[in-house]
Structure 1
Amino acid sequence: MAAPIDSVKQGDELQCLYVEGRAIQRALATLASNHGVYLKKYNDTSERIHANLVDAQKASIVTVAKTSIKNAFVLVLIDGTSHKFVDDLYRSKQSGGAATAKRLREVVSERVAAMLPAIARSEYSIVVKIFACLKTLSSRAVAEKLVAPGHRSLAFHFAEFNKVSPFFDFVDTGDEGHVPTKITENLRWHMAIEHCKHVFFCAAGSPKYHIALKPYHGQTKRVTIVTGSIADVEICTLGLHMISFARVFKVGPLNATSNTTAIKPASIEVTVPNPSAISVPATSLIHVNSASRNAGAPILSSILPMRARHGRVPINLAKQRLDLQMQLPTPAELQAYKDHTKIQELCIDFHLRGYYTTKECELSHGTLLSGVYCVLQYKALGTPCSEGSGCRSSNCVYAHICQKDECARAGGKAVLCGLTEAMHKVDPYVAEWVAANSSAMQSSASIQGNVLPVTTAPMNGGVPAAYMDDLISF
């Protein structure tokens, strides 16, 4: 039989537990309140200390920036032999030297404004150093009938040049062989100076230049190559921007080597649907995929980019689409193209883009040797893109800017060029790389007629056309 329940005792036990629980609750409430006060005090103190540190850092950064920008300068290093001033600057006997300095200053200022806006808005200086053998320059100018005969005919010209600015100096090396050493040492010394914000490197023709520039591979914010009468292909491989000061320096073709005489390209007959490209000089034929080709093949002298960026296309400050700088095809590639087209013309859309759009297409869609594609690219570049400068397609193989040497020499559209007048006036300097418009790449679903999917179209020895960005990007 169960023992009787003592309800009074149980009630007392429950009451004790209730009182104990209430005491604990009060203690917890007090602790929570105290902890809340502590947290607020801690947070307030932390925020105050952090704000003070940020203010101190900002003040330090502003001070350093002001000091750095206050004494900033842009250096222009010039080899007077490889970079010849345009003829009209030499012909002006009275003010030629001063006019040369002022025009150079204007051109550099324009480039700084476009490339280094923060520096352009500050008080910066332009430092110009020209190294050359005055006797050699004078004799060449006399031979070209630009100045009167004399061993130092250009002495007055460069004396006037030096007067324009305390930072403009022409240095007579006395011997042409001393020029590369002086330029490379000046480059090394100035690049180590914090206040030197940028270097426009106007020199070519010596292996020393490539060696000196190699440590700055890809440093486009520090160094820009300015093309002149001659240049070295090796310098073009350093990933630096290449521009021209066409108002100041004569611009010539890019030589394969600095110590060899440039070979004049022969005229090559290519049968194409576009009559404007029936007869073209070899200097106009261009190609991107140089990895598997002759490294010594000459490439077009240009300031356009040399490498593609996956999923992006280059544009200039005016938001106009640009193309990649191209490489000339080899004679073997040209012969391979001729062999393929003896029987039937090749379909550009099929071979370069991976599809053809009409059932009645009578062009060839057969397998090609990899070397043939460079000539097809040239044919595509003879046709302006229908979207013009607004094109953002990653799969576009047509032209957005003219790269032909004959048009550059003519100062505009040459007789046989099939591109528009507007494409001869596009600023070739890359301002930024923007995302490519993937929707611009046509899919098989949107094409009428017989369509070859892009994944099965061979490119350059079996690479699918879907990887076009990795090989050819316009």
Structure 2
Amino acid sequence: MLRDSDIDSLNGHLASLSLEQQKQHDNLQDLLGRFKSLLDDYSSLKSDYEEVKEGREKYKRQARGQDRNPFVLVLVDGDGYMFKEHFLKNGSEGGIAAARELSDSVKELMHSTMGMQAEQCRIMVRVYANVLGLSKALARAGLTGHEARSLSPFTSSFTRSQELFDYVDAAEKKEGSDFKIREMFRLFADLNQCRHIYFAGCHDTGYGSLLTPYRGRSDRITLIKAAGFHREFEALDLPIRELPSVFMSTPLLNSKPPTGPAAAKVNGNANGANGMHHVSTGSTGGISTKPICKHFQKGICKFGHGCNKQHVMPNQSLNHLPSPRSSGDSPPQSAKSTSSFWSSPTAGRTDDFLRSMLPLPSIKTEEFIPVNKDGDRIDPYYPQPTPESFSEYHARAKQHKVCNSYHLSGECGDMSCPYDHTDVSNTVIEVLRWMLLQHPCTRAGSCRSIKCYMGHLCQKPGCKAVKSWQCRFNQNAHTLELQIARWDIPTDQDDIGDQWSVSDGSIGETSPGTMFD
């Protein structure tokens, strides 16, 4: 039988063993807990790794995808950049030929700006324009027919001729083309697949803010120069190139150049390459030293283009004559500074002065109304037709009097109109427009109808309006401030046709189709 001491010893040993077993159990549980925590951390890290790996692979796939199908974008504001005349005149065939010529010209540019990379890039072209307004302007210039959308055959063929070429109608809304071009530029400017953008919209300084963030980025942007190019774009430090075989280098409608001796001094037409006036030089290559005509500066030179002195504005530098104005441009500083010379009705405004101050006919004058600081409407400049033009007009009128409304605005609301709506030559339309301008609009400077073709100021050179029988216009129409302050949106004035009719040289109240005899 065990002694009490043995029993106590065994109890102590058993308690010690039980305590040791508990410690081992606790250690094992702690170890298992740590192991499980490590497994959880591993799983989390593995998940993060897989996500990073997947993202990296996706980026690689995207990068490889961007390396495929690279292209260059040609953005064209069609309201300001006109395709060459022979393209427009040929309609559908001209659209195909214009697209082909544009493609070939851009390929040449690509090789000069992109090197070997050009071989891998396709060409995407987006042209945005107000097709209806452009059709009217081109019809009046004799480049298309007089249908409402006479430019459509050209635009449709242009779009069909190349897979990535689109000529888009931006509708008649104000700044419609601008809005489209801005969004397209922002969409593609930083896209890796778009390797370069050729921007053809430098006739409108409103695009300056769009291009300014890319100043100096010659690797991404190239500017295309054409008619109406603004010198402000040169400050962007971007390459400037021309496509002379694609776009017109002069405005759509130009005033006729000076003739006679004065033509040797100052050529009024814009030079297609640099947009500067031509100044005659002497045999030594310097500026001509012929005296300046003071009578011209006062608006009373009676010799006109036949004058043997130089016709330049006061304070005008002879070695850097200002560029000819396009519609919407501010007048030359010299013209601004001498506007007071022309405020007196006793001097009369010369044809040279009117041509330098008035806006030239353009798409902008077809859509908006130029207005001076006093709120008076300003008419575009139209030179007097030649005797040959008048003869052609009178011969056509003897056959059948043409409808003023139809041939000037492209539409006639009189279903029983007795006047001729068949096609007439551009010369006849020019004479008709000029003759209507010789008759005052009853609303005068407050008229805001885009379809009013009556006169809102006197454009007769040298007209003094001393007696009422000498000129139909009042004195204010001879002293009107000609500097453009703003361009107003036309307002509908449905009764404007009531004052259109002109017969036997007087205003009537009959049909708007009544013609001059």
Question: TM-score, normalised to structure 1's length?
Answer: 0.42
Larger radius of gyration: 2
